[in-house]
Amino acid sequence: MIYMLDTDTISNVVREHPKVIKKLIKHENDTICISALTGAELFYGLEKKNSQRLFDEVRSVIGKCTIIDFDASQSELYGKIRVELEKSGTPLGNMDLLIAAAAISTGAILVSHNTKHFSKVKGLKIEDWC
């Protein structure tokens, strides 16, 4: 299986959330990845916090993950998802839509505590490890 960790999940790994760590260990033989967009969100937050300790911890965690670059197929899927959600009156933030498109395109299960939020996206597999 492929598991794509959302920004909140990476934060929970850094905080050593016991349930998240247990699931991560359980899936150690699976592919664990993040979207490059999740990396962008993380580094934006780190710049705001200006904490070298947190920067080092996050870098250590994402250094163990496969980084999935955003590509043309994900761009196309993003457009379709965004229009569907706008038509249904349930839009999401652009970064979340981009991450959802990355997970679907990669065939990954998105690991996020924001399951209610992401459940609006058709075809997205989601797990909450919290």
Write the single-letter amino acid at 86.
Answer: E
Q: How confident is the model at residue 13 (pLDDT cuts 50, 70, 90)?
A: very high
Q: What is the model's pLDDT at position 14? A: 95
pLDDT in tens, 115-129: 998 999 999 999 999
pLDDT in tens, 26-66: 999 999 999 999 999 999 999 999 999 999 999 999 999 99
Residue 83's CATH number: 3.40.50.1010
The CA distance from 66 to 26, in Å, is: 17
* Cα separation values, 119 from 73, 90, 101, Å: 21, 11, 13
Q: How confident is the model at residue 91 (pLDDT cuts 50, 70, 90)?
A: confident
53 membership: H or E segment, kind and range: helix 52-62
Q: What is the model's pLDDT at position 82? A: 96
Do residues 68 and 33 make contact, with C-beta atoms less than 8 angstroms apart?
yes
In the block, residue with structure tokens 């911890």: 57
Range of the domain at 54: 2-127
**Beta bridge pairs of residue 4:** 33, 110
Q: Is the dihedral of CA 123, 31, 79, 120 positive or negative?
A: positive
Q: What domain count does the chain have?
A: 1
